[in-house]
Structure 1
Amino acid sequence: MIDTKRPFLTINIIVLAAILLGCLFYSVVQLQSLNQLTSRPFLAIINNNLGIKTKLMSLQLTAQHFSDLPTTSNLHRLKMQYKIIRGSINNDLKSDVTGNFHQVHGETGKLIELQEYLDQLGYVLPMSIDDKSNIKQFNTLLAQARRLWNQYSQQVIHSAQKQSKDMHDSWNHSLKIQIYLLAIIGGISLTGLIIISRQLSVQRRMSQTLKEQTIALIDARNAAEESTRAKSRFLSNMSHEIRTPLNGIIGLTNLARQKAIKPEVINYLDKVILSSDTLLHVINDILDVSKIESGKLELEITQVDIADVLERISATMSANARNKALNVYFLVEPEVPAYFQGDPARLQQIITNLVSNAIKFTHEGFIQLKVSFHQASQQLNITITDTGVGIDEKAMDKLFTEFNQGDLSTTRKYGGTGLGLSIVKSLTELMDGTVDVSSSLDVGTCFTIKLPIEASASRVLDIKCSNLDLTTKAVHIIDMSKTANQEAQATLQRTGITFETLNTAQQLLIEFPPLHSKEDLDYIVMLLEQHPDKTAYVLGYPDQLLELSAITPLSFYGIESPFNSIRITECIATETSHHSEASAHIEKQDFNGKHVLLVEDSPINQMIAQEMLDLFGLRVTTADNGEIAADKAEIDHFDLILMDIQMPEMDGVEATKLIRTKGMNQRTPIVALTANVMSEDVKLYKEVGMDSHLPKPFKPDELISTLEMYLNETQASNMRLDN
């Protein structure tokens, strides 16, 4: 403790001595400043007085010159000289130095008298060269003004000299008192410095403590961030480990389904695919929650085609709805913009989660998705209504909480992770929107999503059915539930379609029951036979429409379920069918022997991918790791490279770097074929030179889309090079 105080005491003594010396120096400076303060105004007033005297003399000389030689030029010079000198003298008399000095040492009345003389000079200023009397009077008044100023100036200067001497004497007598006061101040300063030094010591100890606490907080934050990164790495690794065998399951099941003949086998395989999709959905939900928690979930803003989004949702939801014999209705108001800026994948995820939930918790009735647009607020409104079990009011507060499903009985009965609604809320808020819910037990639930969008001037129906007159379409709807029938008619009527009775309508819209029997088919055939003069549209699932077309020679237009107002409006307007088989797309693909390098270390995944590529008419070369792939890419040209990431010897990232630097495939499209789907992984793939990535497990349609994108681009590029 003593060693700590000694440096402070030494510093205090040095600082005190510096203060005392500074005070003495300050006294000397003050004395010099006093000299300047008393001498400067004195010199200034002398200069000022001399200046006024000189100006008056200059004016008198100009007047005398005019008296001796009265010419127009001299008269003009006299007038100008008078105006300039009068203004200058007025400024001198009103200046701070002159005004303050004369108030202390002189008589302000003399200054006023001088100004009066100057004013009178203006009255007697000659107006012409013949004005003799005025010039004489002008010279007289000017001489009187000069005499007045000479007498007054001498008086002021004498008074100022006397006051300056008195001030110097007073300062000299008070110098000793100032020194005593400075000594007292120095003592007080010494005491203050001692106190301050102790406070500084305390402050330094507190600062050291704060620094240690800050370091501890930084360490804790780093530990928390490392924990988050470790969790992300764990989820990424677990996702990869689950997706890799799941890719084999889905891939082999799809291949088996292509070759299956017996209906029961196809049914079993469809259920395997459905179960795999459910598992994949759970994995994606967990990864999304991880991204949301870490703040790494970002929107990819691009053009949204609302019709395309609903088509994709229809394709994924139709099987579940059919298995539960539920009617699903997608109603899009005519004023909804066809295109707007947003993230179509995340918008699809929001709607899919809500529709999937509605199907899960609804045993009978219908699910209705309604999309509308509020022009004034530029707001897209999405409402999902069901006739399901409803939600207890007590569970509303924690409905959007992660891993929550209202109560344990719900979890046991319906299953699921409880992440879907949490993700819906997070994604909606990320889009600056809101989500609301209303529900009644055993009546149903209604979710409402409100999203601000930047709308285009184009409308849905203008895009889908341009230059078509819908007012000539008189339609009758058969076998639709009452509530949905009213909503569907109201939506379609706003496009110009009218709804008439069965006898007066020119067209029929028949909704196929979700689960049909022989009697259902016979009933629809009977309707077609009874009204051969009417254009018939049958709304049903693909297999239902195929079976119906097989048992009747009568013509009809098939529209795939679920009910989609955009799709139905387009079909009615153009009188065309909207029906396709899911497997037909795979069989029709033929890429004319394009050469693909498949890099995959897993034998099962390699076999699955190769067989799919063979189905599309592609020539395939395989490589078991990145090193082999780089060697083959150096000596042979490929139209596309499908690159796995995690492989022995050399991974896909290093192999891509080698391919991009040498060989024949530096510009060949490279697609990462991987189970790593975290955003940082995808970013890395693009940085090393890959064009995109296809996450495992992938579906045949996803592989086809990738092949069409890059093989068509390759073909176009080759054509440009040839030209």
Structure 2
Amino acid sequence: MSQFFDEVLQESRIARAAVRIRQVVLALVILVTLAVMANVFLQIDHELERSSSVNSDNATWTMAQVEVDTLKLQRAILVAMDRPGDPQALDDLRLAFDIFYSRFNVLAQSGRLEGLPINNSLRSALWADGAFFDRVTPLMDGDDAALATALPAIRDEMNGVAEQVRTDVVQSLQALLASGDARRGELRRSLQIFAASALGLLALMAALSVVIVQQNRAQARRAQTTVRAVHNLRAVIESSLDALVICDALGRITDCNGAAEGLFGRRRDEFSGLNLGDMLSKEGLEDPFATLRTQFRDGAADLQDGRLQMIGHRRDATTLPIEVALAEAMSADGAPMFIAFIRDISERIEREESLRKARNDALKGEEAKARFLAVMSHEMRTPLNGLIAATELLQTSTDLDKRQAWLSDIVLSCGTAALDQVNNVLELTRLGANRTGGDQVTDFSPVQVVRDLVTQHLPHAGKRGNRLVFEEPADPIPRVTASQHLFLRALYNLLGNAIKFTDAGSITVSLRADTLEDGRRLHLAVDITDTGIGIAEQDLERIFHNFETLDSSFARMRDGTGLGLGIAKLSAEAMGGAIRVVSTLGKGSTFTLDVTLPVAVEATRPSAATPPTSDQEAPALHILVVEDNPINSLLLSEMLRLRGHTVSNAVDGVEAVEKAETTAYDMILTDISMPRMDGIEATRRIRAHGACRTVPIIGVTANAIPERMPEFLSAGMTDVLAKPVTRSALMAVIATHARGAAPAQAIPAAPPAAEPAILNLDVLREAQREMGAEFVDRIASRLLNEADALMIELEELGLKAAFDQAAKAAHKSAGAAASIGLAGLHAALLRYETAAQAGDAPAAATALTAARKVLLRTVLDLRDNGVTLNAGPALAL
């Protein structure tokens, strides 16, 4: 590095010498400038004064001579008159006249006398046509006799001319003196201005001199700072752990630091003349130095954190892995130079290899664990689900005596308990692995979830002699947008734990809520208070550990795996909340789920005027219904026709776009998921051109979750209806948008319960009222038979691993099931669709098995509710 720093110090010395030279040159320039300006000023003043004096004297003399010549001419006239016969007197007269005449010629040619009275009025009076010179000149040029005769007249006229000459000479002299004074004053002012300008220039030069001196001093200080910085930088570089090698544009090494000596096993003088490329290598590179220059200049993709990994070659022919970074700089003479920063990464590679091996071992263990859980999920839950479903079917479809009913209850209870434990283990694994991103976010009512949960646990609490109470809040609580699964899972385990450890007591559930951020977020606190056995203070933290029970002996009174509270804690944390507990041993406990969740969009939307919902308020419209499922299309069309609307149908997006090209419909109702072209793309194309560019387009989907609403609306949809479509919701949308009201958000379907009922009786009864029981019977029979055929199709597609086709087929039938209130079948098919979309074969098989059982229960529940089903494969029960 010494050469590099010597160059920097040499530059500093040169800079200081340049400062001194500039100071000397500046002083000389100032002195020379002052001398030259003074000399020029004196010369100008002298010459101007002289020139002004000469001109003034010449003009004065000329005007004086005019008067003298006038007097001489008068005297010559008088002499000639006294000697009339003397020719010499006449010649003298002619000479005097010629002198007088010439004098006025001189006046005419003098620019100095221009504008004076003697050169204006007198000259004009003498030279004018018919004036003195015109009359007298011929006489002077004539013979002596004529001249002698005219002498008296010439004398008289000359007397007038003399008087005028005297007057004009005096006035001209006065004007000349005044003009000279004015010109001298102007000259003096010009000289004063010149002097002031010169003084200003001198002041400016002085100021510049001061600035230059200050700059020189600052530069001197910077030079000193540079010297110190160079010394400090030299110390830093020499003590650097990274090797630094300096080379020229051709890669020839010119200097290095001590770390480079140790890295490559060479003394500093041994580097001189070597090429950097000869000390480096990388697979596939013929010229390492040229490659380095190119990659670091262009920022190639091979660079990692600004460095390129290569192989270094030591003097003893050994190699070592290194990282190289290259920087381009300029030497003192302006030639390009390069600085290579080289780092030994042998230890890092060894650590990375060790970590990679450990990671691979961990991944293998995780993979084995995942395979085990997948097998457990399929191999254990599938028979347990079958056991529970068969037992429920046995109880509902067969007349059992008391002992058989008692035994079946035991089977059902044990199967449910076993399934619950398996689900707890799998849920714990999912939460512990931080795989919560797949939890579906939906809008739900916290009050409704807690109410349903309490209702679900009433029989369990009653068996232990407990009183279970839900203290509902007095003020309404808005819906929230979050994972209902996590919220329900946390409360489910907390409430189950309270019932398990309380006998002949009471469990009270209360819900408190506070709005935050101007109503955009909701802080919820769900308290579950029991009068059970309580928990000792030293155990309050331990109870949330997985597989941890307070009584782990074989004689413990409470069964359990110790997973419930751990799952509740992980579920709460996955929502960004926490669980707090206050307990007194022997008196009871209070567990609190504390969580803050976003308020649902429709709950925060400002209230608008209620749109008209009555059938009479909506005018009769021509509506295009786009639906690939025949049952959905038939139900929706029939519902619209009963309200007096004209309906046209399209089976997919392609047909919808073709019809909308030429027919101006009043409104379009379109499904989202369809073959060939979905509703989103169809909406975009209809909005682009055709006769229906501006008509309302209403999306109809079973997947109207908030996350997809921007996608639907940005495609051009006016509004979105969630399946199942009720008459009131449909008529409200039609009445709103038929009059061009502002677009609303999606009308959400009722929030799904943890386990939806087999039938949505509200939708079923409404369909029967609207379209008649016989029509609904036919639709239900057709749908159930198609669902039975669908189960066979889904099984075949699953064996072929054609999950995309299976998901589409399940989605198509799910919407139709929801349309007439078959909520259980709708939910079962959606679960299968979700599993198929994820390509999860075990989950899809489980969902298909569950869907078959739901189909059988749907047939039984429809018959129990008075629906007459026609014959078919699915209706053979």
User: Which structure has more RCO (C-alpha within 8 Å, separation ≥ 6)?
Assistant: 1
Q: Which has the larger radius of gyration?
A: 2
